[in-house]
């Protein structure tokens, strides 16, 4: 039972609620002037990632999730004259943690080295870059980092959730100018 509770607590710790999103953008850029987007490489959707993610259905789900999220934010895809060019990257790293299990509090048994268990998991990173086509410079980047199973559920629903997390701060809110007296 102790092993089950330890693993359950690690799974809860590493679950989807532990996604960290970092966004950076060009502070002087007026994002309200952007209305359309396309993909960075000749308006053809490509992404860089691990070989095992080279799955046509997964790529299509990622592409559709980005399009849907951008549409929700008021942007339309335009292959002829886009304002923004989007690039997408995935990286996945194998990581592990060691969980130590204490024995029952038996006063007659002393274990100087507690039982240990190694739990393997993946650290995944999604990066979405946006480039101003006219100026030829990157104006926005978001990076979402999260932990997942060794065999993650890459269903359409989870892909959409991951893309929504990554794009949650786009477009950035206009900073209010300080009030001068």
pLDDT in tens, 72-94: 999 999 999 999 999 988 888 88
Q: Tell me, what's the pLDDT at 14?
A: 41
Q: CATH top-level class for 20-166?
A: alpha beta
pLDDT in tens, 32-54: 999 999 998 877 777 666 776 67
Longest dimension (CA), the chain: 78
Q: Tell me, what's the pLDDT at 164?
A: 92
- Residue among 98, 153, 100, 85 nearest 124 (CA): 153
Q: Tell me, what's the pLDDT at 89?
A: 86
Torsion angle in degrees (nearest 10) through CA of 49, 67, 145, 132: 90
Chunked mean pLDDT (size 10), the chain, 181 residues: 38 54 91 92 73 77 93 94 91 81 61 73 88 93 85 83 90 67 55
Q: Regarding beta strands 115-132 and 84-101, do their DSSP bridges make them parallel or antiparallel, or are they unpaired?
A: antiparallel
Q: Tell me, what's the pLDDT at 8?
A: 35
- What residues contact residue 171 under an 8 Å CB cut-off, 6+ apart? 31, 32, 34, 73, 140
Q: Tell me, what's the pLDDT at 7?
A: 38
- What residues contact residue 101 under an 8 Å CB cut-off, 6+ apart? 2, 3, 6, 114, 115, 116, 117
3-class SS of residue 20: strand
Cβ 87 vs Cβ 40: under 8 Å: yes
Q: Write the burial class of residue 155 (CB in 10 Å: 0-12 exposed, 13-18 middle, 19+ buried).
A: exposed
Phi and psi (nearest 5°) for 136?
Answer: 65, 35
Q: Where exactly are the structural domains of the chain? A: 20-166
Q: Tell me, what's the pLDDT at 156?
A: 87
Cβ 32 vs Cβ 75: under 8 Å: no
Q: Tell me, what's the pLDDT at 9?
A: 37
């Amino acid at each position: 039972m102790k092993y089950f509770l330890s693993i359950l607590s690690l799974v809860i710790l590493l679950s989807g609620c532990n996604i960290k999103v970092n966004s950076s953008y060009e502070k002087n850029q007026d994002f309200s002037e952007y209305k359309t987007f396309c993909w960075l490489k000749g308006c053809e959707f490509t992404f860089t990632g691990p070989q095992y993610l080279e799955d046509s259905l997964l790529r299509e789900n990622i592409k559709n999730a980005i399009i849907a999220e951008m549409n929700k934010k008021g942007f339309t895809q335009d292959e002829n004259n886009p304002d923004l060019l989007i690039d997408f990257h995935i990286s996945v790293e194998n990581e592990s943690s060691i969980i130590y299990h204490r024995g029952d509090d038996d006063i007659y048994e002393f274990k100087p080295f507690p039982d240990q268990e190694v739990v393997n998991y993946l650290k995944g990173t999604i990066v979405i870059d946006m480039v101003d086509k006219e100026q030829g410079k990157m104006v926005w980047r978001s990076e979402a980092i999260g932990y997942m199973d060794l065999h993650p559920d890459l269903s359409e629903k989870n892909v959409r959730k991951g893309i929504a997390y990554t794009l949650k701060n786009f477009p950035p809110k206009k900073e209010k100018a300080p009030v001068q007296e």
